[in-house]
Amino acid sequence: MAELLRIYDENPSQKHINKVVETLRNGGLIIYPTDTVYGLGCDITNTSALEKIAQIKGVKLEKANFSFVCEDLSNLSDYVKQIDSATFKVLKRNLPGPFTFILPGNNNLPNVFKKKKTVGIRVPDNAICKSIVATLGNPIVSTSIYDEDEVLEYTTDPELIKEKWDHLVDLVIDGGYGDNIPSTVVDLTTPQPEVIREGKGSIENL
């Protein structure tokens, strides 16, 4: 049974954030709010947790296109090859924000992702999310939680999310109603930024 934990976006309780981080460090899976839809996440350094998420999503871990959720751009070089100044300016203009940017991965990627040439980077504009990553000290690996209902596509009510994911995750954060439009995905490994999926992020600033 998952625990439902209410955390306020305006001023996240550090005590509650510590509880979330403890769950992540123990290999737990969490569902948490972002600046777009609710995400399913785990600690990037925990292979068994990563495997659980891949299993839930029905994909092979080494081929999974999960996003790395970072606190800011300062730990970009941990997982991303050196990028040119034009690419960095695009990131700086749009992050934190509702974007996933595909960038060239470097040799420091976790072992399970070693064969991947690229990595999706997210820096959501959400205080809860940023506090979790800051306290954890490394990125969360994340994926959106789709809804099987074709009309809904994304569930926005944390209590309904808890009901549905109760036996699959350890903790559901109630950060209020989520959005139902996902992030805009942009590939920055091409000569010009290439929009893979248009979502909440405006492509005018690219």
Give me the amino acid identity at 74: S
pLDDT at position 120: 96
Q: Residue 27: what are its φ and ψ, rounded to 5°?
A: 85, 15
pLDDT at position 204: 87
* Domains, the chain: 3-197 (3.90.870.10)
Mean of all residue pLDDT scores within the chain: 93
CA–CA dist 6, 152 (Å, integer): 23
161-206 per-position pLDDT tens digit: 999 999 999 999 999 999 889 999 999 999 899 999 999 999 888 8
pLDDT band at 152 (very low <50, low <70, confident <90, very high): low
pLDDT band at 97 (very low <50, low <70, confident <90, very high): very high
pLDDT at position 145: 86
pLDDT band at 111 (very low <50, low <70, confident <90, very high): confident
Paired sense of beta strands 140-144 and 67-69, if any: antiparallel
57-86 per-position pLDDT tens digit: 999 998 888 999 999 998 788 999 999 999
Of 125, 114, 127, 121, nearest in space to 139 by CA:
121
What average pLDDT does this structure show over 37-52?
96
Query: What SS3 class is residue 73?
Result: helix
pLDDT band at 147 (very low <50, low <70, confident <90, very high): low
Cβ pair 200, 115 in contact under 8 A: no
CA–CA dist 142, 69 (Å, integer): 7
Is residue 153 predicted with pLDDT exceeding 90? Answer: no
CA–CA dist 96, 156 (Å, integer): 21
**Sign (positive or negative) of CA dihedral 195, 78, 143, 65:** positive
pLDDT band at 148 (very low <50, low <70, confident <90, very high): low
pLDDT band at 126 (very low <50, low <70, confident <90, very high): very high
Give rounded-to-5 percent helix, strand, coil for the chain.
30, 25, 45
More confident residue, 74 or 120: 120
